[in-house]
Amino acid sequence: MISPSRDIDIIGFPMDLGANRRGVDMGPSALRIAGLEEKLTALGYRVHDQGDIVIGIKECQKIINPRLKYMDEIVRTAAILSNRVASSLDRGHLPLCIGGDHSMALGSIAGVAAHCRNQGHELGVIWLDAHADANTDDTTPSGNIHGMVAAAALGVGHPELTGIGGFSPKLAPRHFAIVGVRSIDPAEKDNIQQLGVPIYTMTDIDRRGMDAVMTEVLQRLKAVDHIHVSFDLDCVDPAVAVGVGTPVTGGLTYREAHLCMETIADHGSMHSMDVVEVNPILDIRNQSARLASDLVASGLGQRIL
């Protein structure tokens, strides 16, 4: 059992090279302005904001391979993030990576996996998302790398993506769980089947309820020492979170999303977290960033009572 950290390192990753829709590069600012640090401080954490990692903007980049758009800059900056995340964990802190599009998780998961490998800890990942993000450069309909990151963590995809941190896969499919999905590309379905990764769609959540689904997810991860939560805000219904990179109807309600986070917090094994795909351009008065920061707080112990 890894003891829970009272120190949180916020690491900003203003990345939008992995997505088609512009604006998620402003996500870190929106989350800070929404009071993320204050909400975590109120829970008793010492919060250390490390600022943003510097990422080249789209206007200064070229697409070299249309099936892997902006890969060089994404891989370069993910490697920097990976080192930051690993050293945060080495200090006994909880790295909270704020994006940015979901390609950020190439770096965060690489860093968490490197730390876990050194410490002999078993890693598990809970991927909260409207999409499965399980494409590869062979199956992608768009060439957007944010749709390839779950596959890459499991060792499937272009070697530049899977190889960040110098080893692959980052974890076993049985220790990975995708929750909240409602949009999967046709060829991506085959990838998911081949990977054998547990996936909980909105249909599962409708039928069984969030409590039963999360209880099963955490039961599956009982041999895991360190859970990393990769929270894509688009798992929440766009009626509740309009300011996201790739909205899909039929998502989690406000309370389902909070209950999911509360259940993770109660379990006590989450030691690192991503929050991605907050898009201030599509948002209304920063309400989606406020929701995202509230959900992070729930995942870190905020309670109604």
Point out the residues that are catalytic.
102, 129, 131, 133, 146, 232, 234, 277
Question: Which of the ranges 100-108, 134-142, 210-218, 262-270 carries the binding residues for Mn ion, by CB under 5 A?
Answer: 100-108
Task: Return the number of the residue (232 or 237) whose C-beta is nearest Mn ion.
Answer: 232
Which residues does 39 contact at the CB level (< 8 Å), separation at least 6?
Answer: 293, 294, 296, 297, 302
Task: Return the number of the residue (47 or 126) whose C-beta is nearest Mn ion.
Answer: 126
Task: Return the number of the residue (69 or 93) whose C-beta is nearest Mn ion.
Answer: 69
Task: Return the number of the residue (234 or 283) whose C-beta is nearest Mn ion.
Answer: 234
99 prior amide bond cis, ω within 30: no
Minimum gap (Å) between residue 133 Cβ and Mn ion: 5
Task: Return the number of the residue (24 or 224) whose C-beta is nearest Mn ion.
Answer: 24
Nearest to 74 by CA among 88, 63, 86: 63
Q: Is 129 a binder of Mn ion (CB under 5 A)?
A: yes
Which tokens hold the place of 85?
């995340």
Which of 16, 37, 52, 133 lies at the binding interface for Mn ion (CB under 5 A)? 133
Minimum gap (Å) between residue 82 Cβ and Mn ion: 18
Q: Is 73 a binder of Mn ion (CB under 5 A)?
A: no
Q: Is 102 a binder of Mn ion (CB under 5 A)?
A: yes
Size of the site for Mn ion (CB under 5 A): 4
Residue 131 to residue 18: CA distance in whole angstroms: 14
* DSSP string for 28-65: HHHHHHTTHHHHHHHTT-EEEEEEE-----GGG---S-
214-273 residues in contact with Mn ion (CB under 5 A) are: 232
What is the total residue count of the chain? 305
Residue 228 to residue 112: CA distance in whole angstroms: 8
Which tokens hold the place of 75?
């891989």
Cβ pair 275, 99 in contact under 8 A: yes
Minimum gap (Å) between residue 151 Cβ and Mn ion: 12
Which tokens hold the place of 173?
């499919």
Minimum gap (Å) between residue 131 Cβ and Mn ion: 5
Positions touching Mn ion (CB under 5 A) are: 102, 129, 133, 232
